[in-house]
Amino acid sequence: MRDVPERRAALQAGRVLAMAGQGDMVWGHVAVRDPDGRGIWIKAPGRGLEEVHDRDLQLVSFGGEVLDGAGSPHIEAHIHLEIMRRNPAVTCTVHSHAQAAVAFAALGTPLLPISHDGALFGGKDVPRFTTTGALVSTPDLGKALAETLGDAPAALMHRHGLVAAGEGVHAAVMHAVLLERACRVQLTAMAAGPIRDHSDAAEALAKRDQCWSDRQLRAGWDYLLRRADQAGTGQDVA
């Protein structure tokens, strides 16, 4: 089979997310924008992020129809379709059930820049989608989630997980990874006692530029992709 970059990217993104600990058996998904404007490439239901093969991918149109691949469209394809519809610059979106994100969202506590990871949001709290904790199974819910995310790198979905987006697969995946890590670090600190120190707004903005430039995001992605390759999980388009 010929090499298809967007399909390869979708497979690699799933493997990297699984390597980063964001797998949840067969749940969670990543989507890559089709460069010809036909819709998104997303895994069909029933496969884990790390075990998706080329035959498990679907091309889902912006009208919610499967144009290529088997089976019905993924029930939560609206997450990805509506975020990409709202922001044409976004080429990849991630939805996972990262446990630290779910736990942190339940506290209703602002996300603080107590680590490099937390500085991703420049000292502001992470956006929070609270309309529903159930599946984002309709276009209207997808639109509401897209509005909540706005132009932020990622958002918490209360009672559900997280969503992340980026102008590139490497950026979207790293935004998901960094949000989960920031939540986990803050949960750890709060378990030990009150948080007494974190970056102020100026330092957080400076750290975001220093630590999370596109070059740094790509470096993190490349590292996780090497780890996934070494583990031998998943299968690329041959």
Encode pLDDT of 141-191 as tens digits: 999 999 999 999 999 999 999 999 999 999 999 999 999 999 999 999 999
Strand order in the sheet with 29-33: 66-68, 57-60, 40-43, 29-33, 92-96, 161-166, 154-157, 128-129
pLDDT-based confidence at residue 3 (cuts at 50, 70, 90)? low
CB 42 within 8 A of CB 60: yes
Query: Which CATH number goes with the domain that contains 179?
Result: 3.40.225.10
Letter for the amino acid at 147? E
Q: Closest by alpha carbon to 7, among 90, 87, 68?
A: 68
Q: The pTM is what?
A: 0.95
Structural domain includes residue 104: yes
Q: How many CB atoms lie within 10 A of CB 92?
A: 29
For the chain, the residue count is 238
Task: Specify the DSSP element, H or E, that contains 30.
Answer: strand 29-33
Parent domain of 130 = 5-231
pLDDT of residue 70: 85
Structural domain includes residue 136: yes
DSSP string across 125-137: PPPEE-S-SS---
User: Quick one: DSSP state of residue 71?
Assistant: S
Helix 169-192 with 214-231: angle, nearest 10 deg: 90
Structural domain includes residue 11: yes
Beta strand pairing call for 66-68 and 92-96: unpaired
Structural domain includes residue 153: yes
CB 91 within 8 A of CB 32: yes
Longest dimension (CA), the chain: 56
Residue 132 scores a pLDDT above 80: yes
| Total number of domains in the chain | 1
Structural domain includes residue 203: yes
Structural domain includes residue 119: yes
Structural domain includes residue 238: no
Mean pLDDT of 13-22: 96
Structural domain includes residue 237: no
pLDDT-based confidence at residue 231 (cuts at 50, 70, 90)? confident
